[in-house]
Structure 1
Amino acid sequence: MTDPLAQLLELPGVEEAVRTARDSVAEVHRHPANRRGWPATAAEASVRAARASAVLDGGDAEIPEQGDVTDPVLAGSLRVAEALGPLLPTWERAPLQALARLHLLAAADLTDDESLGRPRSAPGVGGRLSLLAGLVAGGTKVPGPVLVAVVHGELLTLAPFGSADGVVARAAARLASIGSGLDPKGLAVPEVSFMRRADAYRAAAEGFASGEPDGVTKWILFCCEAVVAGAREATSIADAALAE
C-alpha cells in the first residue's frame, strides 16, 4: 500500500531538514552525561517542556518552590509530562485512548468532568482523529521528524477537545518523537523553541491547517528547526549535569 505521508518527503527542503534534526538529536544522546545519567537529564527536559507548553496555552512558567501549583494550565501540563513514559505503550497501540488520557490530565481543572477525554462532536473531528491514529499505529514509515510534525499540526488544527488542546498536541508530538525513535529517551526540548518563537509557531501552524503545500512545508521545516533548537537545550542540560 502507498504510504499516505510519503509525498511529504518530496516537499522542498524537507529531506535535508529531517536529516539535520535526526543528527542533532543523535548527537545529544551521545553526550557523556546521557550515557548513564540520562534519566536525570530526561526528567529536567520533561519539566522544561511542560513549562514551555503551559506558557503557550496562557499558563504560568514558574513552579512554586513550596506548595502546590495553582495555575490550572501549568498543573495540567506537569501532570501530562509525568504520564508520558507510562503512556507510551498505549500511544503506540491505541493512540485515541492515549489522547483521551492526555486530555483528562491536561484539562482536569479547566473543564467539566463530562468533557474530559471526549473529542468534540464537530463535523470531521472524529474521522480525522481516526486517520491520525492509524498513522501513529503503523500506517506510515516516514521519518520521525515528519510524523511528529504531522501529529502536532493535525491536533492543533483539529483542537479536538475544546480545552487544553495545545498542551495535548505538544504532548502527543513528544510521544511521537519518543515512539518513532527520533528521541527515544526524551532528551530534546523543542517546546522551548516554540515558546520563544510563539508568533512564528502559531503562524506556521495556521499554514499547516490551510492544507496548502507551501504551508505544510513551512510547518514541517519549522518543527525540524525546533528539534534542532531542542537538542541544543538538551545539550545545555547535559553540560550542567556533567558539571555538578
Structure 2
Amino acid sequence: MSESTSASLSDPLKRIVELPGVSEAVEETRTIVDRLLGHRILRRRSSDVSMESSLRGACASAALEGAEVSMEEIRAGHVYDTRIKGALRASGELGTLVETWPKAPRQALARLHTLAAADAVSEEALGRPRLEGERVEDPLGLGPAPGPEVARARLEGLYGLLGARSSVPALVTSSLVHGDLMAIRPFGWGDGLVARAAERLTLVERGLDPKSLVPSELGHQTLKDEYVPALRGYMSGTPEGVAGWVVYCCRAVLAGAQDSLATCEALKRG
C-alpha cells in the first residue's frame, strides 16, 4: 500500500483535498488571508477590525435569509428584524465557543441556534434538533429537508468530523460544516444563520483566522448568485459537486478577507 493510499484511508477527508481545483483554491485563499493577518494596522487596531468584520458578517448573513438592513442602521442600533438580531447575537459570541467547538460540538451548535433563534421560536425549540411535523423554513429554496431521524444521524456524523483532528486544511473542514448544516437544516428555523456562523467558527478554531477578522458570511453575500447552485452541487454528493462547493467557499472566504483588507486600509488612512 502506498503512503498516499494509506493517508487517504486514515483520513478520508484527504480525498476531498485531492479533487480538481480544491488545493489551488485553498492556497489562493490562504495567501490573501495571510496578507490580511500581516497587515501593519492590526498591531494597534486588531479589535476594531474584528468588530467591524463581526458586524458586516452578521448583516450579510441576515441578508441571505431575506432580511433587509443597512450597516448604518445596525451601527445606530435600529435593529428589529429577528433574523438580524439573531445573526448579531451569534456573531458576537463566536469567540466564547472556540474552545467548545472541537470538544463538544453538539453543545456549541445548540448554543449557536439558541442565539440565532431566541426571538423566533418557542423556548423549548431553542437549541434542539427539530421534531417530526415541525416546519422547516427554506429561504434559499433548496427544497425538502431530510426527516428528523435522518437529520439526527447526519448530525452525529458531523460531530464526529469536528471531533477528529484531521490534517486537512481549515478551509475544507469549514466548507463541509457549512454544506452539511445547510443540507441537514437540523433546527427548522435559522439554519442558514447557524451554518454560516459555524463555518466562521471553524475557520477561527482551526487556526486559519485566529482573530476572527474574515467576514466569510459577507463573501457568501458577495457571491450570492453562486451560493444556491454551489449548495445544490454539494447536496448532490458527486465529486464534482463537492469540489465545486469547496472551491466556492474558498472564494467566499477570499472575498471576506479582501473586505477586511479594505477596512485595514481605511483605518490606516485615518
TM-score (norm. length: structure 1): 0.95
* 2:226 maps to 1:216: no
CA displacement at 1:139 relative to structure 2? 4.4
Partner in structure 1 of residue 113 of structure 2: 103
Q: Deviations over 1:11-45 (max 9, x none)?
A: 00111111111111011000011123211101100
1:180 equivalent in structure 2? 206
Aligned to 2:5: none
Give the secondary structure class of the aligned counterpart of 1:69: coil
Aligned residue in 2 for 1:230: 256
Deviations 1:41-74 (A, max 9, x none): 0110010000000000111332355555211000
Seq. identity, %: 43
Contact 2:222–2:252 at 8 Å: present in 1 too? no
Q: 1:12, 1:217 within 8 Å by CA — same for their partners in 2?
A: yes
Structure 1 pair 117/29, CA: closer, same or farther in 2 (3 Å)?
Answer: same
- Is the deviation greater in 47-56 or in 119-128? 119-128
Match of 1:38 among 22, 41, 46: 46
Which runs of structure 2 are paired with 1:14-53 in the superposition (5 Å)?
14-53=22-61
Q: Output the CA distance in 2 between the equivalents of 1:136 and 1:10.
A: 20
Gaps in structure 1 of 5+ consecutive residues: none
| Residue 115 of structure 2 corresponds to residue 115 of structure 1 | no
Is the partner of 2:10 in helix, strand or coil?
A: coil
Q: State the partner residue of 1:78.
A: 88
Q: Is the 8 A contact 2:222 2:255 kept in 1?
A: no
Match of 1:133 in 2: 159
State the match for 1:2 in structure 2.
Answer: 10
**Residue equivalent to 1:88:** 98
C-alpha contact 1:103 1:168 (8 A) present in aligned 2: yes
Determine which of 198, 216, 239 is the counterpart of 2:265: 239
| TM-superposed deviation, 1:100 | 0.3
SS at match of 2:209: coil
Matched residue pairs, number? 244
RMSD of aligned C-alpha atoms?
Answer: 1.4
Larger Rg: 2
- For the Cα contact (< 8 Å) 2:223–2:252, is it kept in 1? no
Superposed displacement of residue 82, structure 1? 0.9
Amino acid at match of 1:149: S
